[in-house]
Amino acid sequence: MGFFNKKQKSQAKQQSKQQELYISDKLDENLSRVKEILGNPTDLVIRKFTVRSTNMQCAIIYIDGLVNDDLIQSNVVKNVQLVTERKQLPEKPKQLLRVIYENIISATIVKTVKTLDELFNGLLYGDTIFLLDGVDFVLDIGTKGWEGRQIEEPVSEGVIRGPREGFVENLQTNIMLVRRNIRDPNLRFDEYQIGRRSKK
């Protein structure tokens, strides 16, 4: 009996792990999981809104500093919020997301994603994730656009091999540099206010 109990427990654990790998059809649950896995970093942007002319809740998530904000605004947010120009939208969530995917979002690169692993790969690579409540897959939209600043090689730390990049005074740029090179959901950034007077 003990052997069978252990086997059943291990199978239950395996099933729960497999369920965790897949995207849920509940919007809030997906957003909570993303925040939990990433540690709710300060550069994680989550914007919830309603698809116009429907009661369907949707959201976009992206990492600030890795994306092109203009692309997100013009190709995603603006288009979804102006769908009132269309006569009628499907009432079923999956059909609605299909219409958004095929006719409304005008980005060049858009693909469907069903697992959290794929979601985080895109998110940490500078893509924007579009989620719709009631659907168990999301849209991965190509919005890469990290800052192409002239990052100079540190004078005191010259290297022969590898990228010739160094940190600068801007914190957001430095975080972006680290994220570009370490695309791991376990990477954490904590902000602290230092200085009694400067409060930086």
Per domain, the residue ranges of the chain are 22-141
DSSP 151-178: PPPPTTS--SSS------S-HHHHHHHH
Task: Give the whole-angstrom CA distance, residue 51 versus residue 81.
Answer: 6
d(Cα 200, Cα 194) in Å, to the nearest integer?
5
**pLDDT for res 62:** 96
For 183, other C-beta atoms within 10 Å of its C-beta total 16
Structure tokens at 76: 């995603």
What confidence score (pLDDT) does residue 199 get? 56
* CA–CA distance, 70 with 84 (Å, rounded to integer): 22
In 82-129, alpha helices (H): 93-99, 116-123
pLDDT of residue 189: 79
Q: Count CB-CB contacts under 10 A for residue 115.
A: 15
Q: Give the per-residue pLDDT at 19.
A: 47
Q: What is residue 129's predicted lDDT score, i.e. its pLDDT?
A: 97
Could you report the average pLDDT of every consecutive run of 10 residues in the chain (200 residues)?
54 51 94 94 92 89 91 89 69 92 90 94 93 97 72 55 64 78 81 67
